Structure 1
Amino acid sequence: MLQGWNPPRRTDGEGYFLLKPETDWNADEKAASNMNNKALNAIFTSFDSNMFSLVTNCVCAKQAWKKLQMHCEGSESVRRTKRRILTTQFENLRTEKSETIDDYEHRLRKIENEAIDLGDAISNERLVSKVLRSLPKRFK
């Protein structure tokens, strides 16, 4: 299923591809179609009508997923730029004078979660080091 699902086809006598009638599908083709339909159903029912309109014409779950991914995350160059921005935010993050440790941790976790969403997790070692370097003298 990594390549996505395509309706089963057969070739005619002249070598042209034709869609197979569902009555001629074998067990594997029926199972693949069923898995694709379940995945599409999960995608279709997970979004509001605006997002649904992006994928309403998709017959393959992988195609629908790619459209949603592009819409929500952008292209690889956009994700790369987002990663750079997050890295800069992470490196420049400091505690504010009136900020509690909980508030600082909340801002740090927000950056961490965004990095995870972009596929660029920040290690615990790096997070702990950042917290220790960023603490004001009143907490040390």
Structure 2
Amino acid sequence: MKWIIPVLLILVSCNQDNLSPESALKSYMDGRMGTIVTRDYILERVTGKMRATFETMSEEEFNKSADMRNIKKDSFKILSKSCQEKKCFLTYSVAYQTKTEEKTAFTTEVKKIAEVVSEGGKWLISDVSNIKTYHEALEPINPLE
């Protein structure tokens, strides 16, 4: 009987990823940064225009975009939210470091707007557009590389 409560807590916490627009977006960002993801991982979390983009990518293009092992997330903040019944627009910022070998080569802060829609009882990312990107090079940039 003692095992029922921990099992229920685990099940509930595992299913929290897509219960709100914010948690769906945060889960997607956390899952991508610092790892290599599969096409299935992404397709389970996106819909609409974004899904069509990932479905039509060649294997080589996808593998390039899926490999984010050299990225280390510094922060993720949702700045504003505008929702209707089944659609939300979230303005957010994410800051990260791009590593080469063991050194940080760039720090970046990006502000974006994500369109998140509710489909089948969970929130999926439909489209993402950039507002502003700021890069700071910590190493001299060699244009010949």
Same fold (TM over 0.5): no
Answer with 1 or 2: which has the greater Rg. Answer: 1
Question: Which structure has more strand as a fraction of its residues?
Answer: 2
Question: Which structure has more helix as a fraction of its residues?
Answer: 1
Q: With CA pairs under 8 Å and 6+ residues apart, which has the higher RCO, 1 or 2?
A: 2
TM score, norm. by length of structure 2 = 0.24
